[in-house]
A and B are shown apart, each in its own frame.
Chain A
Amino acid sequence: MTTTWLERRRSRIDDIAGGRSLGAEAFRRLRREPAAIIGAIIIGVFVVVAAFAPLIAPHSATEAFPQLQENLRPGSIPGPQEGFPLGSDQLGRDFYSRMILASQQTLLVGVLATLIGLVFGIVIGTVAGAFGGWADTLLMRVTDVLLAIPSLLLAISVAALAASPSQSTVIIAVSIVSVPIFARLLRGSMLAQRHSDHVVAATALGVRRPAVVLRHMLPNAIGPVIVQATLTLATAILDAAALSFLGLGDADPGRAEWGLMLAQAQTYLDVRPALAIYPALAIIMVALGFTLLGESLREAIDPKGRR
């Protein structure tokens, strides 16, 4: 009986439930990380609210209510009351509905800007990292120049170049800021991959060059870039808010957007600070959510980096 047990031990390799990829392992580690769970919950709530904003919000963002406007006078903005849980904004609109509807804008700007930046960054980083030579030198010098300019300043310059401020200029401005970050990061890890044994092994095996780049180098190099993308999402939201705050966003003052709301609230800071505090808190919370998830993703993907 024990000999069979011994035999089983000896042929143990057959018994291990196998076939778990690195991605699956990383996900398993991620699920046990409290920071990741908190981040995921924040983002989850944020996404759900944004997706169903028109259903959740009791009123529209632009509708002004007479019963609120009545009490609106210099030096006093009506606070929470029946039907308006967060009270009025400076123009007699429902502040609660505006907060909720604004999440849509923030999600749109953050996600779109990051995605656009990610796509361009990946293309540039892959070309530079995989092929090297003059293409690498040229692309990296350009990204170096872009990186040398403070990101917000760059975004402001790009947004200011546009004929008229609009939502799309904000998205483009914020995404351009993130392109060099992604490109640099990816190029660095692609270079490391280029000299790694398994890439040399694939070349030695006779695998075609494009397949080596796309199948072996890119998937192994992209991890840090994905992590960076979640972190960039946070800064993109902040940058977009900042641009709106500076008046470089959508010209329509009635539009609900946290950054814009924050900007407009500064006039009424001593009258009703809640008008500034709520949008600021929302921005901070969402940015925190993405940062938490991004950081734990980084640790999960690279467990060696753990202290």
Chain B
Amino acid sequence: MTAAHSSEMAAADGGGVRSGAEPLLSVRDLRVAFQRKGEPETVAVDGVSFDVAPGQVVGLVGESGCGKSVTSMAIMRLLPDRGVRVSGSVLMDGTDLLALSDAQMRERRGRDLSMVFQDPLTSLNPVIPVGLQITEVLRRHRGMNKEAARRAAVELLDRVGIPDPRRRLDSYPHQLSGGMRQRALIAIALACSPRLLIADEPTTALDVTIQAQILELLRELVRETGAALIMITHDLGVVAGLCETVNVLYAGRIVERAQRHRLFGTPRHPYTHGLLRSIPRLDSPQGEELPAIRGSVVDNVPWDHACAFAPRCPRSLERCVEVTPVGETSGGRLLRCHNPVPASAE
């Protein structure tokens, strides 16, 4: 176990960071376990390590239950204290966010790093006008007076593409459409010009045409503000057009990481490979049987002495259920597999 982790950490040091750039955020060996009374501990995130460079867009992709959202909540320190055990480290500017006091973390949230959630309706306070929710952040974190905060809020709403921002300040969340709410939420997240934005399935609740608008907005914001973005999604398509580096999560561990062109061009892990082939694509030959991955996540085995994906994997070997595969990096690609798809398979 320890051997596996240390070698992975060594591997992760190179992975995902553009050469020369100091990482803005370093997640090292992050482990999150949930403990419920009378039930065995469940490990949601199991030794995840990755880096984010300033201005970089990093994707965390996986299905429900793979631990992608828990990872983001752990980074933001938004998990409840009771019944949750978080270990590892999340380094930002040399300080471990996990070791900060609650007050210190509150200070950093919004200013250094902030988050956009999946459901904009439940993450906005329904009884407070949108404008007030933005100015509140501005006044608390940036010490603005009422007038200045209001002016800045109008600017922010305009920046995220909300038409008629001055009027919108007094709108309540339910008076806005889903897309507008998500824009308002992004405006709140951007209020203090954070250097890192974490977007957790920001477009899942939205329609495709609205999703396209929001993705375009995120792309612009990253380009213009220079903030880094961690994009968490289950949609490989979203990642393909947005993220420089893509981490594929399965059952709480990163099974493959590469630069997006390489990951989508030559997926090596059988899970990534199988997933990409099983999705019906707009440009794929139609009507044919899709090469589906068998089973579902309930068929997973624990990582202890095996690869969690082995029962579903078409390439699984005996070794896959005897030895936990270790994450190994070669040529900028992290791969956790005993029997990866040959690089020339595509």
A residues at B contact (CB < 8 Å): 2-3, 5-6, 9-10, 12, 32
Contacts and interface: CB of A to CB of B under 8 A. Distances in A.
Closest 3 CB pairs of A and B: A9-B311, A2-B318, A10-B311
A6 B38 contact: no
14 contacts: A2-B318, A2-B322, A3-B318, A5-B321, A6-B311, A6-B316, A6-B318, A6-B321, A9-B299, A9-B310, A9-B311, A9-B321, A10-B299, A32-B38
Question: Main SS of chain B's interface residues?
Answer: loop
B301 A10 contact: no
A134 B311 CA distance: 57
A32 B36 CA distance: 13
B295 interface: yes
B299 A2 contact: no
Interface of B: 38, 294-295, 299, 301, 310-311, 316, 318, 321-322
B146 to A, nearest CB: 37
A9 B294 CA distance: 12
Given A2-B321, A3-B318, A5-B321, A10 B294 contact: yes
Contacts of A32: 38
A10 B295 contact: yes
Contacts of A9: 299, 301, 310-311, 321
Contacts of A5: 321
Q: Most A CB atoms within 10 A — which of B301, B311, B322?
A: B311
B301 to A, nearest CB: 6
B292 to A, nearest CB: 14
Contacts of B310: 6, 9
Contact of A12 (B38, B311, B318, B322): B311
Question: Main SS of chain A's interface residues?
Answer: helix
A10 B298 CA distance: 11
Nearest to B300: A9
A6 B306 CA distance: 11
A219 B192 CA distance: 52
A215 to B, nearest CB: 29
B320 to A, nearest CB: 8
A12 B312 CA distance: 11
Given A6-B310, A6-B311, A9-B299, 14 more contacts: A2-B318, A2-B321, A2-B322, A5-B321, A6-B316, A6-B318, A9-B301, A9-B310, A9-B311, A9-B321, A10-B295, A10-B299, A10-B311, A12-B311
Q: Most B CB atoms within 10 A — which of A5, A6, A12?
A: A6
Nearest to B320: A6
Contacts of B301: 9
Nearest to B310: A6
A133 B318 CA distance: 65
B183 to A, nearest CB: 31
Contacts of B322: 2
Nearest to B322: A2
A135 to B, nearest CB: 33
Contacts of A12: 299, 311
Nearest to A5: B321
Nearest to A7: B311
B313 to A, nearest CB: 9
Contacts of A2: 318, 321-322
Nearest to B313: A6
B251 to A, nearest CB: 14
Nearest to B37: A32
Contacts of B294: 10
A225 to B, nearest CB: 28
A89 B310 CA distance: 77
A2 B311 CA distance: 11
A213 B321 CA distance: 50
A12 B299 CA distance: 7
B274 to A, nearest CB: 15
Contacts of B316: 6
Contacts of A3: 318
B311 to A, nearest CB: 4
Contacts of B299: 9-10, 12
B130 to A, nearest CB: 29
A2 B310 CA distance: 12
A7 to B, nearest CB: 9
